[in-house]
Amino acid sequence: MQRRTLIKTLAVLAATSATLATSLAHAGDKVIKVGTMSGPDAQIWSVVTKVAARDGLTLKVIEFNDYVQPNAALDAGDLDANGFQHQPFLDSQIRQRGYRIVNVGLTYTSPMGFYSKKYRSLKDLPEGTKVGIQNDPSNGNRALLLLQKYGVIRLKAGAGVNGVNATPLDVTENPKKIKLVELDAAQLPRALDDLDAASINTDYAVKAGLQPTKDAIAIEDLKGPYANLIAVREQDRNKPWVKKLVAAYESDDVRRFLDTQFKGAIVPAF
């Protein structure tokens, strides 16, 4: 009887010790803080978080409402990774601010478009109209290249290509004498009532209730060069959690979510 009781007691202690060891192990697991934009990006990362959890990786997604803070927070160590930008934007941020941040994997391509509440095509714009574009170098460059593609303006030779961002100063032909209004990317949807047309990034367009493939009066090619990416600090690029993070994003679950949720406005780049 005493021996049986002793065996039971030892079994309980062993089980308790195992549970405690497991709890301590999980308590010591690193929580990976990922910065992204509110809206579609945050929706996608909620799916990534569930996939990562199955592989033992715990993510905490932190949402931002502008394109400047996520890289500053990552470089400062307040984030472990971010996922919101394309390579030209990251390159321009590194040149301007000296960040030691690197691309470790691609996420999706989000074609940028022009929108208008007054006109159905860029070709319909009358003389002297006000057209809004982003005031950051990489997205402003995209807007100018799109205006050139649709014949609204012409840029000087070499502007906007090979890593050289075009600016309004590079416009050499402007037959309709449109006025380019440079605004912060987040302000453009709100300014659409006061503008004749505006270039709007897809994440801000979707948050404003616009459907890029339906509502845009001009749009970039779906397979353009502006694929978004996952960024980490240089010293973290080879850490095991980075590989898990990228794999979680590049999963079949996320691919299916992109395909069904965004109907071609956001397409996988992996």
Residues 148-160 have pLDDT tens digits of 999 999 999 999 8
- pLDDT value of position 24: 35
| 147 backbone φψ class: left, alpha, beta (φ>0; ψ -120 to 50) | alpha
* pLDDT tens digits, one per residue of 77-100: 999 999 999 999 999 999 999 999
Region 11-32: what's the mean pLDDT? 50
- pLDDT value of position 78: 98
4 residue type, one letter: R
* pLDDT tens digits, one per residue of 23-47: 333 434 799 999 999 999 999 999 9
Q: CA-based Rg of the chain, rounded to a whole angstrom?
A: 24
pLDDT greater than 60 at residue 9 = no
Region 253-257: what's the mean pLDDT? 97
| DSSP collapsed to 3 states, 83-116 | EEEEHHHHHHHHHHHCCCEEEEEEEEECCCEEEC
Write down the residue that tokens 């090979």 correspond to: 162
Pairwise pLDDT comparison (179 vs 138), residue with the higher score: 179
Region 112-116: what's the mean pLDDT? 97
Of the listed ranges 125-129, 212-216, 235-239, the least confidently predicted one is 212-216
| Structure-token pair, residue 189 | 């949807």
Mean pLDDT of the chain, nearest integer:
90
Which 3 state secondary structure label does DSSP give 74?
Answer: helix
Give all domains of the chain, ordered by start, each with its CATH number: 29-111+225-268 (3.40.190.10), 113-219 (3.40.190.10)
* pLDDT tens digits, one per residue of 212-225: 989 999 999 877 78
Task: Report the 10 Å Cβ neighbour count for 141.
Answer: 25
Task: Please give the Cα distance from 127 to 121 (Å, whole number).
Answer: 14
- pLDDT value of position 176: 96
Query: What distances in angstroms separate CA 13 from CA 17, 25, 26, 68, 186, one per listed residue?
Result: 6, 18, 20, 53, 58
